[in-house]
């Protein structure tokens, strides 16, 4: 049985459909594509996707109108919808403000932004790397706010932190923690807050309240310590 989740990609331009599929091709998800709003609704009814990524500017039935129809349908209303728009087109920005979507993303699309946003709604996107359980105090320092949480799983590219308080508003934070079984020295990395798993209900009920961070900059020593910890566990 295929237990992978499904993302419906909707855009009338071949290039953008292909780009989003390429971004997702190494992640454990299935993709289906539509070239317009009406086809998107038909495919959503047929497949009940877990997330819909849909362009705003499409002929016949645009993304905002399709989004409204999907959100009004009792079978489809709970599917997260991410609307893609061109920020240099005022008419698209105005339409977005009237949509009942769950999130928005401006074009041109970067892989990092696309996967990070999708990750908020589809929890395991781009989690193909091996992750191991851990338990250590983690400090995240932003420019205006610092927090401490409990690191509970780690990979070579990121860490999940159990935390119930207010998350720093900054996207980029300095992160430090100890992997005492490897070294007595503190591990320090620069990281991005990739997704936040809080609220009622929180996006991923299988994990405790917290946040996921993606490592961005680290020294060769820090990388070696993390690699050794993962290899030993």
**What CA–CA distances, in Å, run from 60 to 36, 94, 122?**
8, 18, 29
**Best CATH choice for the domain 132-232 from the list 3.30.930.10, 1.10.3720.10, 2.40.10.220, 3.30.70.3270:** 2.40.10.220
pLDDT at 106 over 90: no
The predicted model gives 128-148 an average pLDDT of 88
**How far apart, in whole angstroms, are the C-alpha atoms of residue 141 and residue 174?**
5
Whether pLDDT at 68 is above 90: yes
The pLDDT confidence band at residue 1, using thresholds 50, 70 and 90, is very low
Residue tagged 């877990």 (tokens) = 50
For the chain, strand residue ranges (E) read 5-10, 29-34, 51-55, 81-85, 103-106, 132-141, 146-154, 158-162, 172-177, 187-197, 210-218
Rounded Cα gap, residues 120 and 141, in angstroms: 22
Task: Please state the length of the chain.
Answer: 233
Supply φ then ψ for residue 191, to 5 degrees. Answer: -145, 160
Average pLDDT over residues 105-131: 74
The terminus-to-terminus CA distance of the chain in angstroms comes to: 29
**All structural domains of the chain with their residue ranges:** 5-121, 132-232
Residue closest to 83 by CA, chosen among 126, 118, 32, 119: 118
- Tokens representing 60 are 């016949």
**Closest C-alpha among 115, 62, 52 to residue 89:** 62
pLDDT at 31: 94
Looking at the whole model, is its pTM more than 0.85? Answer: no
Q: Is the pLDDT of residue 123 over 80?
A: no
Cis omega (within 30 of 0) on the bond before 184?
Answer: no
Distances (CA, A) of 136 to 116, 149, 153, 161, 230: 24, 8, 10, 9, 14
How far is C-alpha 141 from the chain's CA centre?
A: 21
Residue 207 has pLDDT above 90, yes or no: no
Check residue 204 and give its pLDDT.
66
Higher pLDDT, residue 98 or 39: 39
pLDDT (tens digit, 9 = 90+) per residue, 4-52? 789 999 999 999 999 999 988 877 788 999 999 999 999 999 999 999 9
Average confidence (pLDDT) over 58-86: 92
pLDDT tens figures, 142-187: 888 899 999 999 988 889 999 999 988 877 899 999 999 999 999 9
> How many whole angstroms separate alpha carbon 173 and alpha carbon 29?
29
Any idea which residue has 């610092």 for tokens? 146
CATH no. of 5-121: 3.40.50.2300
Confidence class for position 126, pLDDT limits 50, 70, 90: very low
Range with the lowest mean pLDDT among 10-14, 72-76, 211-215? 211-215
What does the pLDDT read at residue 125?
47
pLDDT in tens, 186-204: 999 999 887 788 877 676 6
CA-to-CA distance for 37 and 64, rounded, in angstroms? 9
């Amino acid at each position: 049985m295929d237990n992978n989740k499904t993302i419906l990609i909707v855009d009338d331009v071949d290039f953008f459909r292909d780009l989003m599929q390429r971004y997702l091709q190494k992640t454990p998800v299935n993709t289906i594509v539509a070239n317009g709003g009406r086809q998107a609704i038909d495919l959503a009814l047929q497949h009940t996707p877990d997330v819909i990524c849909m362009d705003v500017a499409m002929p016949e039935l645009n993304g905002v109108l399709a989004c409204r129809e999907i959100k009004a349908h009792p079978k489809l209303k709970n599917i997260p919808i991410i609307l893609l728009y061109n920020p240099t087109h005022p008419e698209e920005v105005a339409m977005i403000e009237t949509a009942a979507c769950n999130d928005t993303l401006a074009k041109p699309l970067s892989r990092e932004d696309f996967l990070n946003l999708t990750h908020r709604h589809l929890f395991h996107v781009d989690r193909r790397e091996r992750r191991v359980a851990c338990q250590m105090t983690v400090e995240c320092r932003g420019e205006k706010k610092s927090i401490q949480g409990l690191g509970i799983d780690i990979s070579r590219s990121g860490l999940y932190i159990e935390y119930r308080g207010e998350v720093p508003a900054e996207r980029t934070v300095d992160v430090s923690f100890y992997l005492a079984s490897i070294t007595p020295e503190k591990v320090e990395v620069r990281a991005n807050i990739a997704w936040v798993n809080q609220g009622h209900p929180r996006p991923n009920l299988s994990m405790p309240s917290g946040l996921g961070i993606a490592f961005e900059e680290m020294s060769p020593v820090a990388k070696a310590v993390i690699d050794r910890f993962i290899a030993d566990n």
